[in-house]
Amino acid sequence: DQQVKQNSPSLSVQEGRISILNCDYTNSMFDYFLWYKKYPAEGPTFLISISSIKDKNEDGRFTVFLNKSAKHLSLHIVPSQPGDSAVYFCAAGDTGANSKLTFGKGITLSVRP
């Protein structure tokens, strides 16, 4: 039973355009959501997070939106750059930053020059 779902395995966008990565979850106990980025042969690196008390969090080119009623979150990257090409994982937790995280399967983003 997948509690965090990233239904699109891949996304390809043109450099300079917006990338929108989607994530759905089923567990109502999740109160903290994160996005991690992973390059080949490296571990996941933290990108941005959002608490369930917010509906938006912005950090530079990256914005995460949370729709609690729909149990849906999305990551927007504007403008997209070739260096953003990586696998993006959505993750969720229910007891704060040090809790066990549940990850989605990941989305491979390719940004075309």
Site residues for other proteins per CB under 8 A: 4, 6, 34, 36, 41-46, 49, 89, 91, 96-106
50/77 with CB nearer other proteins: 50
CA distances from residue 101 to 92, 94, 96, 98, 106 in whole angstroms, order as listed: 5, 8, 10, 8, 14
Find the shortest distance in angstroms from Cβ 96 to other proteins.
7
Find the shortest distance in angstroms from Cβ 16 to other proteins.
29
Find the shortest distance in angstroms from Cβ 59 to other proteins.
12
46/112 with CB nearer other proteins: 46
4/13 with CB nearer other proteins: 4
Find the shortest distance in angstroms from Cβ 72 to other proteins.
17
Q: Which long-range contacts (CB under 8 A, 24 or more apart) does 66-72 make?
A: 66/33, 70/24, 71/24, 71/25, 71/26, 71/28, 72/22, 72/23, 72/24, 72/25
- Find, among 59, 41, 60, the residue nearest to 49 by Cα: 59
